Amino acid sequence: MPLPPDILAYHAALDPEDRAICDALAAVIERHLPEGEGKVWHRHPVWFLEGNPIVGYSKLKGCIRLLFWSGQSFDEPGLKVEGSFKAAEARYTVATEIKAADLKRWLTKAAAIQWDYKNIVKRKGRLERLK
């Protein structure tokens, strides 16, 4: 399935090296999270399952950050803690740093291990585990 137009536009605005990273990430995400709905959310590509954000990436100074909203619960050494909730990240400066096997494993865990970010405002900042 082709990427949504807003994600394609996000990629088109990047320099070639960053675009290569994002193209590679999007291809693996689309392949291994087929039920996910991808769209630009808060100015960055994000994939959702039933309205809950699962995975996304964004351009930071000097790298592309891949973020899993529930990634701290994956128990994966390749992901680093990000923020004060349950998110974890990996950072890439070139597309060849992406390990497809790791990313596939993380996406499998992302679909199975979810915290309810969709309702975080309603719960006044408190997260609850889904599934």
What's the CA gap between 58 and 22, in Å, rounded?
9
Higher-confidence residue of 101 and 127: namely 101
Backbone CA torsion sign across 115, 113, 91, 66 = negative
Under the banding of pLDDT at 50, 70 and 90, the label for residue 64 is very high
Confidence at residue 121, expressed as pLDDT on a 0 to 100 scale: 75
Mean pLDDT of 3-22: 98
pTM greater than 0.85 (yes/no) = yes
Mean pLDDT of 100-111: 96
| Contact of 54 with 61, CB cutoff 8 Å | no
Per-residue confidence (pLDDT) for residue 122, from 0 to 100 = 80
The pLDDT tens digits for 17-45 are: 999 999 999 999 999 999 999 999 999 99
Domains along the sequence of the chain with CATH: 5-130 (3.90.1150.200)
Q: What is the mean pLDDT of the chain?
A: 93
